[in-house]
């Protein structure tokens, strides 16, 4: 049974012989796995069932080095956490 057939069966609510997977890694883990598998193609190395399309960053605009603004106006500081970041300031006031 192909990975495509497995996913189709899952979406149909049918029984499958195993649980399909799709891994995504933080930058640090990705660098370690690239070294371990000796390839930049981690999608093939971990044999994911679901292909990832588009940007991992999403709809963010870099406004300065390591600082990104999302579509809601929140500025995310990625100087420490390169994957998610930390909100630079609170933009919603308490009620």
Same domain assignment for residues 3 and 49: yes
pTM above 0.85?
Answer: no
Instruction: Give the residue from 20, 26, 18 showing the smallest Cα distance to 42.
Output: 26
pLDDT digits (tens, 9 = 90+) for 26-81: 888 999 999 999 999 988 899 999 887 766 666 788 999 999 998 888 899 999 88
Domain that holds residue 30: 1-53
Residue 45 shares a structural domain with residue 19: yes
- At residue 16 the predicted structure's pLDDT band, cuts being 50, 70 and 90, is very high
Is 94 domain-assigned? no
**To which residue do tokens 């100087």 refer?**
79
Assess contact for 68 and 62: CB atoms under 8 A. Answer: yes
């Amino acid at each position: 049974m192909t990975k495509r057939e497995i996913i189709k069966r899952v979406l149909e609510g049918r029984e499958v012989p195993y649980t399909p997977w799709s891994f995504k890694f933080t930058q640090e883990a990705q660098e370690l796995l690239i070294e371990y598998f000796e390839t930049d193609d981690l999608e093939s190395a971990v044999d994911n069932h679901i292909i990832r399309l588009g940007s991992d960053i999403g709809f963010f605009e870099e406004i300065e080095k390591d600082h990104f603004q999302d579509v809601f106006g929140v500025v995310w500081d990625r100087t420490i956490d390169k994957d998610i970041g930390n909100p630079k300031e609170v933009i919603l006031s308490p009620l």
